[in-house]
Structure 1
Amino acid sequence: MKKINLIISFMFISIGLFGCQQNDNEKVDNEPSETQPLDTKAEVLEEDFVYRLVTEKAEYGKNEPIKIYAELEYTGGKEEIEIFHSASPFSFPMIETKRNYEIGYGMDQPLLSTKLLKGEPLRAEYSGSGGYDSKDKKEYIDFMRQIMNQEFPEGRYVVNGIADFYIIANEETEQEKKYIIKANVEFRVKHSN
């Protein structure tokens, strides 16, 4: 009886493993088609703040400047509010989806403050990113050097924008309220028309 149970168990495990097998020769393509529209604008409302992330174009040409900006607008009940953040409340990390390369966004980490006037957005433009380690593969280093020179290689890019800041929620206790608001936009770079 134990032998039959063992054989039946082995058969079910074998069937399960066989069903999970993947053919490595088949290419899985998660890229949207060239004609599929890309999300070039995003807006996220979180409590008294509106975060906007925009790329001015869905498609850029070779060596064309990439125009991306972020905005943070206060919509609460006061006339103004003070936010606290690192060098900027905005960061613009990206992923190039064809190569699956992450493009980091480094920033100085001082503690700065900015006053937001109600209804007047604070705006910052993307000004470059990227980095690499000497142990990275040559293809990745070459790619990052182009990004760092703001010469984006052909591909599809997803910007994972972040507004990262805090406010003093209670003046008496100096209790902080942290905000990390995220949004995504995307664009393509094509070197030929």
Structure 2
Amino acid sequence: MKNITLLASFLPLLFLTACGTADDAGNGDSSSIEKFTVQNTEAEARDGDFIYRLVSEQEEYASGGPVEIYAELEYVGEQDSIDIYHAGSTFFFPMEEKTHGYQVDYPMIEPLLTTTLTKGEPLREFYSGSGGYSDQDDSDYIGFTKSIINNEFPEGYYVVNGYADFYTETADGEQTDYEIHAEVDFKVVDE
């Protein structure tokens, strides 16, 4: 019984320290954005015969406008070319806006597509907006997400956790799956 009483005494304290508030995450004002420093506008990762690159063309963008982010996948193996198999795109651009703690998903249509990569010629795709919401989400998040979908970014500090997701197949049907990740960040500021 003594252990239960002791645990009950600490539960409110544990709850208060584990739950963040909007103030903890920041209010999206420039003072909370200043807490963050852009670390990486270009990132590269290699897996086997493939190099994945993720690039934000700037460290800062003007609020209400688009961001210029792209991903590349380059084949560097021994063959002249290789077929890769993937969903609607090879590239995913999920991100988080850190001052509000908002997640921005990157939904994808899922047909099975085939793309031929030529050795040394990167496949490139530009980000053009993403996200999703339901009528159960709070109105601030819905407004934020609608802006992102239209590639009209609100003020904030963003981290893109991008990746390339695909597989290859040998002539005898052996399949190799790839999910190559890289991360870039940027700020959107009122000017």
TM-score (norm 2): 0.84
Gaps of 5+ in 2: 27-31
Corresponding position of 2:89: 88
- 1 or 2 for the larger relative contact order (CA 8 Å, sep ≥6)? 2
| Cα 1:78–1:37 shift into 2, 3 Å | same
How many residues matched?
A: 184
Query: 1:66-85: CA deviations, max 9, x gaps?
Result: 00000000011111111001
Residue identity over aligned pairs, in percent, reads 42
Corresponding position of 1:51: 52
* Cα distance in 1, alignment partners of residues 15 and 130 from structure 2: 39
**Cα displacement (A) at 1:107:** 1.7
Q: Secondary structure of 1:64's partner?
A: coil
**Cα displacement (A) at 1:36:** 2.9
Corresponding position of 2:181: 182
* Cα distance in 1, alignment partners of residues 9 and 135 from structure 2: 45
| Cα 1:28–1:143 shift into 2, 3 Å | closer
Letter in 1 for 2:137: D
**Cα displacement (A) at 1:131:** 1.3
TM-score (norm 1): 0.83
Query: 1:4-42: CA deviations, max 9, x gaps?
Result: xx86x6898699879968568996579784573431110
The CA RMSD over aligned residues, in Å, is: 2.6
Gaps of 5+ in 1: 1-5
Query: 1:50-102: CA deviations, max 9, x gaps?
Result: 00000001110122320000000001111111100111100111111111111
* Cα distance in 2, alignment partners of residues 44 and 178 from structure 1: 15
